[in-house]
A = this chain, B = another copy of it.
């Protein structure tokens, strides 16, 4: 039995996970209730330590923004209330008296997919998380890639369009500026502004359009909304083809809100990737949807860091 903790800017989800990947107990805490990390750790210990009477808890895994596997620290995560460097793994391990490993959210998702989901049995794959931002976790020969400094796998910040859209990182043309949920909404606003083509999205105030609105319009047959997904898939597919030249993965696993758009996104992604691949790899690289249950995915991802460390 291991504990998986998904630490986000809004909430911190905690679950007990058994060997089969079943979440047997879970609870969540509101991140902003804990302005000091020590108060969060105390609350966590109050909840988890009593469970030890019932369960044999072996380890804790935490997925968190800017979580560094090597140091066990969160380093300057902008969405969390704790500033500077926080020795998360050490403090949690001390409070719960079991080993604790941490990594960033996307790496946790990749480990979760490898342990319980779409990547079981795969030794070479790349996880792409398509949420508010674009993250990635890279597995080569069965091992997570952390890189020299623990921050490898920032594929959301590959430049796909030189001098393109301004990205949150301060640079221009990043994959994340196009293929995240916010990128999809931005593309919709651009398409709407560029023409007077009729679209059900014109009923939504431009600033308020979300990727969910675009998805629902596309599902209802809205041509402009469908083109937004085609455009997003075209750019993502080209990027995936470039990623293949790096580590020659057997598959990509797409995870997160946008990945739930199904064929609307997967069809143009696969078509664009195939067209862009070196001939050597055509027809050989799979693009798979995540197979983690949406509600428990983040907890399972975090739990799998603990499993991998045992």
Contact = CB atoms under 8 A, between A and B. Distances in A.
A56 interface: no
A148 B249 contact: yes
Nearest to A143: B141
A148 B247 CA distance: 8
Interface in A134-154: 138, 140-141, 143, 145-154
A83 interface: no
Contact of A170 (B146, B161, B248, B279): B279
B238 A162 contact: yes
Contacts of A241: 159
Taken together, the copies of this chain in the complex come to: 2
Given A147-B140, A238-B159, A248 B152 contact: yes
A248 B123 contact: no
Contact of A149 (B147, B171, B248): B248
Interface string A249-269: 110000000000000000000
Interface of A: 123-124, 138, 140-141, 143, 145-155, 157-159, 161-162, 169-171, 238, 241-243, 245-250, 276, 278-281, 284
23 contacts: A124-B147, A124-B148, A138-B246, A138-B247, A140-B152, A141-B143, A141-B145, A145-B247, A148-B250, A151-B248, A151-B280, A151-B281, A152-B247, A152-B248, A154-B278, A154-B280, A155-B245, A158-B242, A159-B241, A159-B242, A161-B162, A169-B278, A169-B279
